Structure 1
Amino acid sequence: MLSGVLVLVLAVGGGAWWYISGLTGGIGHAKNVFDRSKLNGAGERPAADPAAGKAMNILMVGSDTRDGATTGSEGKDGFKTALGNRTDTMILMHVPSDRSAISSVSIPRDSWVPIPGHGEAKINAALSWGGPNLLVATVENLTKVRVDHYVAVDFEGFKTTIDQLGGVDITLDQALHDPQQKVSFSKGRNHFDGATALKFVRQRHGLPRGDFDRVVHQQMLLSAVAGKVLSQGVLSHPLKTRELLGSMTNTMTVDDGFSLSGMAGLAGSLKGIKQTDLEFRTIPTTGTGWRQKQSVVLLDPTRDAQLFDAIRKDTAWPDAKPSETWTP
């Protein structure tokens, strides 16, 4: 989704700033803007590696407001959010210094990790316990990668954006059935409206690899949305572009250093990006296990360190297992 927003900002840039700045709830003026200066209270942060040049790392989280969220709830750092108490999706997006691609690493929500000040727990508890401050500190502690910006997406609200796009197409290599949501998806191409797309990314039952497949579904949806936005048919309609930009920004929370103008600058440097330049990975794991009577995802410290070292230095990523990577 973030890549889609960047493309939209680029498409309506230049002389169209007069209506961008007037969008209600636009990024940089929304009430849900995270004060990143509070990160300084989270302990020593990893320094950006000089070898990385102008590379940028963005932590994007998605929450399902349907799952126990309380609109206007306030975390320990005073951050008010309508995005839910626990993260449903967590992606570390890496934009290389040469701006040739956007590569993303998904971190399963049940990953068992150290959370500063709380001991070990599932990583999705960090937002509930300490807001974006603690979540960013947890990710930085885990990866040793400095997070430059924070973006949160409300997937419940995101379905409006998908409907405004006219839906998205996602191709599956096998048919799936979710007995809980009572919905089925066909092998081959599926056309999803917003409501069906949300069911697709919410599916927990009937997946061969459980939450690992759910992560892939989330990656597929983000890629499909970015691909639809990048299509000339969407960007050639100024009114539709404006509506989409407003819809997207209204479903997002950003840090105060990543305003609409900041996104526009990044979008300008990514103007040659295509859907095939998007890469998605899942953080290397050793499988699942049990901790404190909970089913958790166990990370692979050695391979994780290799991957995040490459991200930190903005160098070529190590090879991934077929089950860990997905490319449009």
Structure 2
Amino acid sequence: MSEDDRTRAMRSPGDGRPLPQRPADGLRSGGAPAHRMPGGGPGAPTHQLPNAAPQGPPESGPKPGGSRVYGRERSGSSPIKPLRSRREPSESGPPSPRGPGRRISGRTVLKIVAGVLVVLLVTVVGLFFWVNSRLAGIDGVLADYEGRPADTPGTNWLLVGSDSRKGLTAAQRKKLATGQAAGQRTDSMMLLHIPEGSDKPTLVSLPRDSAVTIPGKGRDKLNSAYALGGPKLLVRTVESVTGVYVDHYMEIGFAGFVDIVDAVGGVEINVRQAVDDPKAGLKLKKGTQVLSGSQALGYVRTRKGGALPDFERTKRQRQFLSAVVKKAASPGVLINPFTAIPLASSATAAVEVDSGTGAFDMLSLGLAMGDSPVTTVVPFGGNEAVPSGGTAVKWDRMKALALFDALKNDKPVPKDVIDAG
């Protein structure tokens, strides 16, 4: 009997049957993988790698001093922890900087906020100087003269809307129904008083057909002062008849009016009664609606509606001026560069101011108009014939004096005067 036969006999059970073979492709305890002979099946002899440990029954129980590797024992080695998935978060330590759970530190947030504030500050300062450089100043409008009223508390603006067609093409004049009138007259005049204290501003309409004494020209309608001597004579006339010192002057023509309204996306107005006025190119239904630039121009110019057309006209002008300035000064317009920049461009191109008025003064004007000012008109009653022809509107002397005295002394206007206006 050969040596191989004797070995198999020693390992076989007593009936001579061969011992079952372990799968060739499995790992043997403490050994290397076995290799199956080609064509072999279950029970086929296997060949071990050189120097492999002899085959035997599987050992049971851990070896002393051994350690388990993936459920198996490995003697003579230190414990090995199971591998973690790359996507499994670590039990200790901060999350990966590139992971979805990355946190922004407080210092980083402060840097971002500071950077945004610096950019906004630079933008605001740059816009301020840009607006200031574009304002068209009129020299000598507020020049001193003999007998001029002394400076009074608070700040007073004379706001003038002229009927200038400058900048309008023939097609635009036809569309806006402005006519072909030559020269330039004041279509609307308002006196805005901004108090030094906490009282609300007061906006007073000065009817353009008011009978007044124009210095050096005699008795005539108020709007004739502009036609006779421009803004300088108009300011002097207003100061003479009211006793109120004028600190700032601002004027806007038809074209600029339309551009500003369109720049803010139109203005919402509550139209108190339907208007159909072909002369003003206007047809509006009753109720709250957004007016475009051309509609707004017709709205403040029309004399349709009311028993006293000129009186109703001044009310519409104050209503609209408050609405357009309030919207222009709203955060939604000012912080949006797509509206703020076109608005600043349109406004600076549309208005003319006295040479002493700057961007800061314009901002003060906008804030005052956005503060819902008290609005009224100079109380009037009756008519007066003027030498130039036609009739002019006479002021109620006593109530008009009470109104202007309140403005001069930086006091609230009496309620009965407001109701009369």
Q: TM-score, normalised by structure 2?
A: 0.62
Provide the rounded CA distance (Å) in 1 between the counterparts of 2:247 and 2:158: 8
Q: Is the 8 A contact 1:156 1:198 kept in 2?
A: no
Corresponding position: 1:196 with 2:295:
yes
Task: Give the structure 1 partner of residue 376 of structure 2.
Answer: 281
Q: CA deviation at 1:61?
A: 0.7
Corresponding position: 1:58 with 2:165:
no
1:58-112 deviation per Cα after TM superposition (whole angstroms, max 9, x unaligned)? 1111102249x9xxxxxxxxxxxxx952111111110000265331111010001
Provide the rounded CA distance (Å) in 2 between the counterparts of 1:173 and 1:201: 13
Q: Is the 8 A contact 2:402 2:417 kept in 1?
A: no
Corresponding position: 1:115 with 2:214:
yes
| The 10-residue stretch of structure 1 (239-248 or 112-121) with the greater mean CA deviation from structure 2 | 239-248
Task: Give the structure 1 partner of residue 134 of structure 2.
Answer: 26
Instruction: Give the SS at the match of 2:279.
Output: coil
Opposite residue 130 of structure 2, the aligned amino acid is: G
Alignment counterpart, residue 223 of structure 1, candidates 322, 326, 350: 322
Q: Equivalent residues in 2 for 1:1-328 (5 A)?
A: 15-22=123-130, 26-27=134-135, 30=136, 33-36=137-140, 39-40=143-144, 42-49=145-152, 52=153, 55-66=154-165, 85-98=184-197, 100-181=199-280, 183-264=282-363, 266=364, 275=370, 277-292=372-387, 293-320=389-416, 324-325=420-421
Q: Is the 8 A contact 2:149 2:245 kept in 1?
A: yes
Q: CA deviation at 1:37?
A: 7.0
Change (3 A) 1:240 1:37: closer
Q: CA deviation at 1:141?
A: 0.5
1:242-291 deviation per Cα after TM superposition (whole angstroms, max 9, x unaligned)? 21012112111111111224435x36xx86x6745222210111143433
Q: Identify unmatched segments of 5+ residues in structure 1.
A: 1-11, 70-82
Provide the rounded CA distance (Å) in 1 between the counterparts of 2:183 and 2:317: 17
| The 10-residue stretch of structure 1 (15-24 or 102-111) with the greater mean CA deviation from structure 2 | 15-24
Provide the rounded CA distance (Å) in 2 between the counterparts of 1:44 and 1:58: 20
Total equivalences in the alignment: 287
Q: Is the 8 A contact 1:36 1:257 kept in 2?
A: no
Instruction: Give the SS at the match of 1:22.
Output: helix
Provide the rounded CA distance (Å) in 2 between the counterparts of 1:323 and 1:176: 25
Q: CA deviation at 1:323?
A: 6.1
1:152-179 deviation per Cα after TM superposition (whole angstroms, max 9, x unaligned)? 1123321111112111111122222224
Q: Is the 8 A contact 1:150 1:255 kept in 2?
A: yes
Q: Identify unmatched segments of 5+ residues in structure 2.
A: 1-119, 169-181
Q: Is the 8 A contact 2:281 2:298 kept in 1?
A: no
Q: Is the 8 A contact 1:58 1:149 kept in 2?
A: yes
Q: CA deviation at 1:297?
A: 1.1
Q: Is the 8 A contact 1:140 1:147 kept in 2?
A: yes
Q: Is the 8 A contact 2:300 2:317 kept in 1?
A: yes
Q: CA deviation at 1:296?
A: 1.3
Opposite residue 278 of structure 1, the aligned amino acid is: P
Of structures 1 and 2, the larger Rg is shown by 2
Q: Is the 8 A contact 2:266 2:293 kept in 1?
A: yes
Q: TM-score, normalised by structure 1?
A: 0.79
Q: Is the 8 A contact 1:177 1:206 kept in 2?
A: no
Instruction: Give the SS at the match of 1:201.
Output: helix
Q: Is the 8 A contact 2:302 2:313 kept in 1?
A: yes
Provide the rounded CA distance (Å) in 1 between the counterparts of 2:206 and 2:283: 26
Change (3 A) 1:324 1:170: farther
More relative contact order in 1 or in 2 (CA 8 Å, sep 6+)?
Answer: 1
Q: CA deviation at 1:188?
A: 1.2
Q: RMSD over aligned Cα, in angstroms?
A: 2.7
Q: Is the 8 A contact 1:102 1:279 kept in 2?
A: yes
| The 10-residue stretch of structure 1 (235-244 or 57-66) with the greater mean CA deviation from structure 2 | 235-244
Structure with more of its chain in strand, by fraction: 1
Change (3 A) 1:305 1:198: same
Q: Is the 8 A contact 1:20 1:26 kept in 2?
A: no
Provide the rounded CA distance (Å) in 2 between the counterparts of 1:281 and 1:119: 27
